[in-house]
Structure 1
Amino acid sequence: MLLCLSVFLKMNLWLLLTLAALAECGHQQSGSHPCPDLCLCSFPPSGAEVVCSHNSLSKFPSDGLSPNTTQLSIQSTNLSGVSASHLSLLPYLKKLQLYHNNLTSLASDLLAGVAHLNTLDLTGNQLVHLPARVFSRASLRSLVMKNNLFEKAEADWFPLNSSITWLDLSGNRLSNVSAAMFQRLPRLENLDLSDNDLQDIQQQTLGDLNHLVTLNLAGNKFLSLKPATFTHNLKLSRLFLQENRLQELPATLFQGLTHLELLLLNQNQLRFLPAGLLDETKAGFRVILTGNPWKCDRKMEYLWKWLGEHPESVLFLQEVTCDAPEALKLKQVISLTDHQLDLMKL
């Protein structure tokens, strides 16, 4: 009995000592890695990662930030300002997310002390204007400025020969974009200009974007596009033109786009497609055509035949229906006969 009691006491003493050691280790570890108030921090081998998402946060969380921080996310707070001196505390910063705050401006030297920064996300602030050269001090590759209040996108924001490959300006108030800006962004692979007020793109605007793979122009106010709009974007794989006001398309609009895999034309005002428009598409190509007021007459012949030859290429094929004439309203285009399209008399 005494032997069992002795063993029990030794085991519990060992357990207490172990727990005490773990607690002390945890205390030391926490003490060696301070974290700002109202933030959460983790410390992987690659460097500290900090997330601050408390709505009572109104100042940059300088106190407690590790100089080894590589990722900082300040989101959904009342932060209204960030300065170069704040960011200079983080010389190894690679990813900075400042979305859904109250930022109204940025300093021209904001990124002067973060030469390694490659990702900057400014989504959901109140930015209207930016100073010249604001993005010239860092090796940015991804820049997101969606859902702000920009009416213009300026070329002088960027350095010559910028390293940016991903640019998102969606959800702003842009009424035009200039070739001069894109001349400074020759490495762009992904460009999102959706949900703006764009009505026109000049033929040479995208001319320097030879590496462009994804282009999103959805949710704008385009009535038409010029024949040579995409002439120099021969690597385009995904092109989003949905939810505009497109009434017709040039027959040569997609000429040379042999890498095109996904094309969205839904929710426009298209009544027919011109002969040859989709002739250069390859195996694996997919298109969405729903939500257009297709007029099922002789001008529909090209699309009707193309649908019959490539039904596997059309997503929501059964929803591609006639809007006119009244006798064919809501009839599936692919089900039409040459008699219904009045082709027998040709």
Structure 2
Amino acid sequence: MNLIRKQISLWFDISLLTSIFSSLLPQCTLLLSKMISAGLEHRTSENCPLGHFPCGNMSICLPQVLHCNGQNDCPNGADEDNCGDNSGWADLFDQTFKRVYPQDLATDCQMEQYPDLCQCINTDIHCVHVSLRSIPQVSANVTSLSLKSNKIHVLPNEAFIKYIKLQRLFLQDNCIDTVSIHAFSGLYKLQKLSLSQNCISFLSPGVFSDLHKLKWLILDDNPITTITANTFAGLSSLFFLSMVNTSLEQLPDSRLLSASLLLNINITTCLILNSKDAGSRSLRANLIKSLPENTFQSLLMMGDLDLSSNLIKELPVSIFKDLPSLQILNLSQNPLDHIHPGQFNHLIQLQSLGLEGVEIPNIQTSMFHPMDNLSYIYFKKFQYCSYTPHVRKCKPNSDGLSSFEDLLANVVLRVSVWVMAFITCFGNLFVIGMRTVLRAENNLHALCIKVLCCEYQRCRLPDGGLSVFRGSL
């Protein structure tokens, strides 16, 4: 009799171990699937699986997390090539401007007239933080005039009319609120103009009409709400127009963006225009809510467009059709509700795409296929990276645990998990019932077995294994 009891007890113990093992099998299967997906895969096809990138032109695919991790994981080292997204302003400016370093610059003042509180070096006048309330009188041969951080509120008509040699004019941080329509008349040689950190809310059409040589115009941190089609008329040489952190709500139609004027656009806080070479426009951190269909019409050579941190909820499906040369596009931090499947079809030269903070519920691989040259992409979720397997650098990186794919999307695996779960539940209940009915020689041992089964069953049913799988069904 005792022998029979021992055999029954041993059978129950084996049944318990089998039940526990069977319950762990689905988790082991999931873990094994993740390990396999994270391993190196040699592919005979040019297409890599989701979440992987190719090692240059070789038939080897690696997980995207291994790209630019400081170690050569590809046999040819291609995973560590071009790890920085350097296709930004530095490259853009280097291509457009060549810096000159004169060996000997004269430091003596060559000006006969200038305020006593100001400094004079060669033909440059610096009147910074000297509480000026109006434009000072200086010699006509001045080439650079800095009036930063003063108390100038009004720029009257012909304020600089006699300074025909002036090339650089800095008026930031004055709280200028009125700019007369002829304030910059006669400045035919002016190349740089800064009006940032003022109180300008409106610019008259044609106010810059005489600035044919102007290359840099900075209007940051002004409460400008609107610009018209003629606001920048006359700026035929403009390369850089910055409107960072203004109150701009909408762009005018494409007449503002003439092809001979603008090549690069950044619509987050800054607007950049270019004339013959690659340029950029930025309007980041404004209040832009919508863009007309033809906003970028005729801008065939635009290279950089930044529309981040605005209030754009939807983009016309063909908004980028006139930008075949665009290389950098930033749409991050916009409340976009929808991205059309063919939104980026025309951006065949795009190298960097920013979509940080943007939900893409309808994301699909075909959205990004036309962008063969895309090297950098920035998403809100790392799972989105699985839809851009051809992109070498995708952010954010994986957390190292979660899978790029829904491992329970496979019907066979999902059914297997449920079968194992029910077998486990039945096995645990059977062990608990039989351990209660049959007498055991070692009551403590039997109690421990029942407690173990009860605890395991409690962990699985309320919020454990079954509830984990419930969301996948």
Shorter chain as normaliser: what TM range?
A: 0.7 to 0.9
Query: SS at the partner of 1:314?
Result: strand
Match of 1:61 among 136, 148, 152: 136
Query: SS at the partner of 1:304?
Result: helix
Counterparts of 1:344 and 1:33, CA distance in 2: 87
Query: SS at the partner of 1:155?
Result: coil
Residue in structure 2 matched with residue 3 of structure 1 by the alignment: none
Give the number of equivalent residue pairs: 289
Q: Does 1:75 align with 2:148?
A: yes
Code of the aligned partner of 2:394: V
Q: Is the 8 A contact 2:176 2:198 kept in 1?
A: yes
Structure 1 stretches of 4+ with a deviation exceeding 6 A read none
Q: Is the 8 A contact 1:60 1:81 kept in 2?
A: no
Match of 1:316 among 393, 396, 411: 396
Matches within 5 A, 1:283-294: 283=373, 285-290=375-380
Distance 1:315 1:244, change over 3 A: same
Bigger CA radius of gyration:
2
Residue in structure 1 matched with residue 175 of structure 2 by the alignment: 102
Matches within 5 A, 1:274-313: 274-283=364-373, 285-290=375-380, 303-307=385-389, 309-310=390-391, 312-313=392-393
Distance 1:111 1:344, change over 3 A: farther
Counterparts of 1:221 and 1:115, CA distance in 2: 38
Residue in structure 1 matched with residue 343 of structure 2 by the alignment: 253
Code of the aligned partner of 1:56: S
Residue in structure 2 matched with residue 179 of structure 1 by the alignment: 253
- How far 1:127 sits from its partner (Å)? 0.8
Counterparts of 1:236 and 1:214, CA distance in 2: 6
Query: SS at the partner of 2:366?
Result: coil
Matches within 5 A, 1:25-64: 29=108, 35-43=114-122, 48-54=123-129, 56-62=131-137
Q: Is the 8 A contact 1:164 1:185 kept in 2?
A: no
1:268-305 CA distance string (max 9 Å, x none): 23345233222233456211113x5x8x7xxx6xx524
- How far 1:197 sits from its partner (Å)? 1.2
Counterparts of 2:217 and 2:256, CA distance in 1: 14
Distance 1:218 1:60, change over 3 A: same
Matches within 5 A, 1:1-346: 29=108, 35-43=114-122, 48-54=123-129, 56-62=131-137, 65-139=138-212, 140-159=214-233, 162-184=236-258, 186-189=260-263, 190-283=280-373, 285-290=375-380, 303-307=385-389, 309-310=390-391, 312-318=392-398, 332=402, 335-340=403-408, 342=409
- How far 1:177 sits from its partner (Å)? 0.9
Query: SS at the partner of 1:128?
Result: coil
Code of the aligned partner of 1:339: L
Code of the aligned partner of 1:38: L
Counterparts of 2:111 and 2:191, CA distance in 1: 28
Counterparts of 1:315 and 1:71, CA distance in 2: 44
Counterparts of 2:111 and 2:186, CA distance in 1: 24
Code of the aligned partner of 1:41: C
Question: TM-score if structure 2 supplies the norm length?
Answer: 0.55
Q: Is the 8 A contact 1:196 1:219 kept in 2?
A: yes
Q: Is the 8 A contact 2:158 2:185 kept in 1?
A: no
1:86-119 CA distance string (max 9 Å, x none): 3123111122221121111111112211111122
Distance 1:283 1:213, change over 3 A: closer
Counterparts of 2:160 and 2:386, CA distance in 1: 58
- How far 1:188 sits from its partner (Å)? 0.7
- How far 1:181 sits from its partner (Å)? 4.2
Query: SS at the partner of 1:276?
Result: helix
Query: SS at the partner of 2:364?
Result: coil
Q: Does 161-170 or 208-217 show the bigger shift?
A: 161-170
Query: Percent identity among equivalent residues?
Result: 21
Aligned-residue Cα RMSD (Å) equals 2.8
- How far 1:161 sits from its partner (Å)? 7.8
Code of the aligned partner of 1:288: Y
- How far 1:32 sits from its partner (Å)? 5.8
- How far 1:122 sits from its partner (Å)? 1.2
Code of the aligned partner of 1:264: G
Code of the aligned partner of 2:129: H
Q: Is the 8 A contact 1:98 1:121 kept in 2?
A: yes
- How far 1:34 sits from its partner (Å)? 5.1
1:231-278 CA distance string (max 9 Å, x none): 101121221211111233112222232222222111223345233222
Query: SS at the partner of 1:215?
Result: strand
Code of the aligned partner of 1:316: P
Unaligned runs of 5+ in 1: 1-28, 322-330
- How far 1:38 sits from its partner (Å)? 3.2
Question: TM-score if structure 1 supplies the norm length?
Answer: 0.74
Q: Is the 8 A contact 2:230 2:256 kept in 1?
A: no
Counterparts of 1:289 and 1:305, CA distance in 2: 11
